[in-house]
Amino acid sequence: MGHWFHDSIVATGRLPLFCFFCGFVVGFLFIRFSVRMIRAQVRWWPGNVKPGGTHIHHVVFGVVFMLLGGVIGLALPDNLIGWRAGFAALFGVGAALVLDEFALILHLDDVYWAKAGRTSIDAVFAAIAVTGLILLRVTPIGVGDVNDARALYPGLGGWLIGAGYTLFNLALVVITLLKGKIWTGLVGIFIPLLTVIGAIRLSRPDAPWARWRYARRPRKLRRARRREERIRKPLIRAKIAVQEFVSGKPDAEPPEAAPTGEPTADATSAKPRSAEADEPRER
């Protein structure tokens, strides 16, 4: 195991990337464990950081860690590989703290425990997948393609072949993303065969591609909706189950107000609550 690690990670110069990956995963698991303990109001677990009554979200600490790890890691000489790896791990922890609150940055609202907060988990899983593929030496589209083509076909012809191949694959990635297949498009940047499949197959019914291309093709739209019900929705339910197992279930959304402006049955039967009960739950 030690020889494999040295030959595959250290000797290839990927030790900082490996430490970043480990720091990212450990940082994400720790912060999710922490916020779930705070949400459960476990007495012995430290609570939120609130100096002067201001709740400091952990994205703030993440930005600080990323700046420290990134700037110092770049400033260190290449021969100090151990220190560079350590600051890469710190950068990974900071990136995990930032992406764990990605939904808050996106919406500019505290949606951490709302359904919209699942966007943060999607961002974290995407970062783990992309970093893992790079760590496994799966190169993204365009990295080395032009040079490989020029090695086979010297001169301008090789450059044109390599550039054309790269642009073609990037176009497939864009089409796949427009069809609403986000994961297929992201992973397809590293495995082009996936974008070929994603670009050929039907779009998701609510994706931009379906709105643009299926408006006058009702048969294709019906097929897309049937496929969404039969295949996509069970996969989404499985993904949500995994997300909730890792990150916790979101809060139940409050019922919508009655359209006539009259109080609902639940509102009229509800008893007055104390001001303390009306305070928002923090994490």
Q: How confident is the model at residue 274 (pLDDT cuts 50, 70, 90)?
A: very low
**Higher confidence at residue 258 or residue 199?**
199
What percentage of residues in the chain have a pLDDT greater than 90? 40
Q: Supply the angle between the helices 118-135 and 81-100 in degrees, to the nearest 10.
A: 150
Contact 69, 87 (CB under 8 A): yes
**Higher confidence at residue 93 or residue 142?**
93
What percentage of residues in the chain have a pLDDT greater than 70? 87
Long-range contacts of 272-276 (CB under 8 A, 24+ apart): none
What are the angstrom distances between the C-alpha of 272 and each of 19, 269, 275, 277, 282? 53, 10, 9, 10, 22
The Cα 213–Cα 203 span in angstroms is: 9
Q: Convert the pLDDT of each residue in 173-184 to its tens digit.
A: 999 999 999 889
Q: Which residues contact 126 (CB under 8 A, 6 or more apart)?
A: 183, 186
- Both tokens of 246, joined, read 């890792």
Domain residues of the chain, as ranges? Answer: 8-138, 140-227
Q: How confident is the model at residue 7 (pLDDT cuts 50, 70, 90)?
A: confident
Q: How confident is the model at residue 280 (pLDDT cuts 50, 70, 90)?
A: very low
Q: Convert the pLDDT of each residue in 66-109 to its tens digit.
A: 999 999 999 999 889 899 999 999 999 999 999 999 999 999 88
